[in-house]
Amino acid sequence: MRVQQAPFDLAAELSGFSQNSAAGAQVTFKGVVRGDGGLRMLEIEHYPAMTQKALEEIEAQARRRWDLEDCLILHRHGRLQVGEDIMMVATAAKHRSDAFLAAEFLMDYLKSRAPFWKKEHFADGERWVEARSSDEEALKRW
């Protein structure tokens, strides 16, 4: 689990991920800043100690719920341009069901509960991103 300002190389991250021969399934998700509605930049803020603790707790919860061989959460902060990578989740398990479910669970948590604050920047101003009801609905299944 890492939170960093610098860009990451997905291929490099995955080349070192889960060399465990018991893992028959790996699932990877990468989130990217999309340019909806004229978005020019996304600014992500966080409190490092709070974020570290929250992400460690959610990873531990995923490991308790599913039979994971490995797990990686990587999230960026700072000013991100449209098209830049924001985050990635990778899970490895003996069977695909555990890998997929754990990855979805982690992504839903990161989207709606992880302590990151996002500000969208447009040509005519900026606004803080508020919680979306669809993100809250996604969490209810867990």
User: What is the C-alpha separation between 97 and 106, in angstroms, rounded?
Assistant: 14
**Are 23 and 97 spatial neighbours (Cβ–Cβ below 8 Å)?**
no
- The predicted structure's pLDDT at residue 67: 95
- The predicted structure's pLDDT at residue 122: 96
**What is the pTM (predicted TM-score) of this model?**
0.92
Q: Per-residue pLDDT for the chain (142 aa), expressed as one digit of tens each?
A: 999 999 999 999 999 888 778 889 999 999 999 998 999 999 999 999 999 999 999 999 999 999 999 999 999 999 999 999 999 999 999 999 999 999 999 999 998 899 999 999 999 999 999 888 888 888 888 8
Cα dihedral 78, 82, 84, 85, rounded to 10, equals: 80
- The predicted structure's pLDDT at residue 22: 83
Amino acid identity for residue 142 in this structure: W
Q: Tokens 């990778």 correspond to what residue?
A: 90
| CA–centroid distance for 56 within its chain | 13
- The predicted structure's pLDDT at residue 12: 94
| CA–centroid distance for 101 within its chain | 14
Q: What domains are defined for the chain?
A: 2-140 (3.90.1170.40)
Q: Tokens 């990587």 correspond to what residue?
A: 74
Edge-to-edge strand order for the sheet containing 125-128? 78-81, 41-46, 116-122, 125-128
Task: Enter the tokens of residue 9.
Answer: 């190389």
| Cβ burial, residue 42 (10 Å; 0-12/13-18/19+) | buried
